[in-house]
Homo-oligomer: A and B are copies of this chain.
């Protein structure tokens, strides 16, 4: 199974799908906070973290995406909150990385992965 990448959008200004409280132009973006929070944990085996530019789902920030080589489905999730969702994201990423095709059984997905899905893309192979 190929390496899994957890991508965190650094462009989003929203948190949980709502305008951030502190939306001063020079305030750290919510995605930067989420990235720092995730990076402070041990990542699941075979998972790399990547800061990315806009995932074009701006109304649904914070947004993240998961991909894992040509054999796995890719996923985009949104309406995330860096203060609430870091642990659940790591749990969902670990399950995704443990699958061959990225398809984690519904009940094994953390609630935010069940309820905050924006889209998914089939494997490219």
Which one of A25-33, A34-42, A92-100, A114-122 is at the B interface?
A114-122
- Complex-state Cα separation, A104 to B42, whole angstroms: 37
Bin the interface of chain A by size.
Answer: 20 to 34
**Among the interface residues A52, A117, A118, which one has the most CB atoms of the partner chain B within 10 A?**
A118
Contact status of A118 and B57, CB under 8 A, knowing A5-B124, A74-B74, A124-B5 = yes
A118 and B118: CB pair below 8 A? yes
B-side contacts of A50, CB under 8 Å: 122
- Complex-state Cα separation, A75 to B74, whole angstroms: 12
Chain A contact surface mostly: strand
B-side contacts of A56, CB under 8 Å: 75, 117-120
- Complex-state Cα separation, A76 to B120, whole angstroms: 8
In the complex, whether A89 has a CB less than 8 A from a CB of chain B is: no
A119 and B55: CB pair below 8 A? yes
**Among the interface residues A5, A67, A120, which one has the most CB atoms of the partner chain B within 10 A?**
A120
Interface set of A (CB-CB < 8 Å, partner B): 5, 7, 50, 52-57, 63, 65, 67, 69-70, 74-76, 117-122, 124
